[in-house]
Structure 1
Amino acid sequence: MTIHRFPFLNKTRRDTPAAGMIREECDLLAGPATRGELGTALAAIVLLYTPADIRQMQRNFKTKIRDIDEDYREPLYLKVTEHLLGTYQQIRLLSQQGAFSRMDIPVSPENSRYWAMVAAACSARAEEKGPRLAFLNYLLAGFCIFVLDEPAHPVGTPFPGGDTVECEDGIYYCPVREKSSEIDAGFCGFCPALQTPEAGYISRGASEHRKQAYIDHYFHNYNG
């Protein structure tokens, strides 16, 4: 895969018609055959963004979760914002090292469906507000899921009831994995994590209203 497959690299992101350009990029991201090819394609797009964009995402996320229970609001903010910057930096480092050229494992068949979902979600978002940072979040999540085979929400992400995303013997567990079907335009349905056995979030008697409020505030707003 060469950089010439990506004509949008000759344009600055702020100068392009957002939704149409994002759809073109998603079509291209659906095509790679290996994780390395996908990583190369993702890096070419992600690195058009800057650390300032990541900082803006962090500020946006802090604002959007301000009504979440204070017991886990700050741990959630710290974990998620750390992960956003860390993933961006990891993509840049792997690209600089040429590491993607050595990743020859076939990409998941779900990759193409993921980018179709992203294109639709960003197109809908463009009708209300710019999808630029939302797209960056989907790019970072797609990298974690399809290149690294890791959850988009990092290990240690807290949830009501005291549970967190965990990794045991190389297997990831998420306490709300089975809630993925309730999340509109979310990436949780593509996550490689398994449902945490006997998760407190599911079994400890939190009200349905509290559970749904958490989903609304966290999952729907974790998009830049």
Structure 2
Amino acid sequence: MDSTDLLHILKEQAREISNEDICLARASIVDSVQDLPEKYRRAYSSDYFAYMYAAFQELRTCKISDKGEPVDIEEHRDLLLRISQQKDEGNARQMAFRRFVAVVIPYLAFIAGRTIHPPGMIFPGGLMITSQGSEYYCPVKNKQSGVELALCDFCKCRDSGELKGEVPDS
């Protein structure tokens, strides 16, 4: 599969996501962060959703190129599997969120080549995603890498420890 094929698929799936699905997905994010301190709650519920929604809108309106780049089918399947394993317990909000991210995250990771979380997003401890030139660095990349349900392995960010010359955990 190449990026042109995947973009066709994602655009078709995006057409199936209704405004109600988007509202429910947003509500799911708000629900999931209700126990966090205010500044993190805002970052996740507003900033993160705004970033995801902008990517969704971009996906819906972007032109499909005739020249596609290769997409690792196994990596794409692994991403979708991890998304599908997120809890939903029959919750309409969580199910809508899962459908929404199953379109947006592959777009960000395989088509747009952007980070999964917005640059500047703050994490607990006050650390945030930063950039130097065209590279992005995440303070939790290596800490989440290999975590069964985390999506960090698919993000273009590098670990912030690389900026300090730290050796990644093995």
Tell me the number of residue pairs that the alignment of Structure 1 and Structure 2 aligns: 160
> Is 1:60 matched with 2:60?
no
> Is 1:122 matched with 2:84?
yes
Shift of 1:90: 0.5
Change (3 A) 1:148 1:117: closer
* 1:49 alignment partner in structure 2: 17
Shift of 1:63: 1.5
Q: Rg larger in 1 or in 2?
A: 1
AA aligned to 1:190 is F
**Alignment counterpart, residue 157 of structure 1, candidates 97, 105, 121:** 121
Alignment RMSD: 2.4
* 2:150 alignment partner in structure 1: 186
More helix, by proportion: 1
> Is 1:73 matched with 2:41?
yes
Give the alignment's TM-score, normalised by structure 2. 0.80
Q: After superposition, give the CA deviation of every residue in 1:26-71 in whole Å (9 maximum; x if it has no partner).
A: xxxxxx2x22221111111122102331221111111110111223
3-state DSSP of counterpart to 1:197: helix
> Is 1:174 matched with 2:138?
yes
CA contact (8 A) 1:118 1:185 kept: no
AA aligned to 2:75 is R
AA aligned to 1:68 is L
Change (3 A) 1:141 1:121: closer
CA contact (8 A) 2:25 2:96 kept: no
**Whole-Å separation in 2 of the counterparts to 1:188 and 1:39:** 21
Give the alignment's TM-score, normalised by structure 1. 0.63
4+ long deviations beyond 4 Å: 123-126
Which range is displaced more, 117-126 or 175-184?
Answer: 117-126
Shift of 1:121: 5.0
3-state DSSP of counterpart to 2:30: helix
Where does structure 2 lack aligned partners over 5 or more consecutive residues? 164-170
Change (3 A) 1:117 1:71: closer
Where does structure 1 lack aligned partners over 5 or more consecutive residues? 1-31, 200-224
Shift of 1:132: 4.7
Shift of 1:125: 4.4
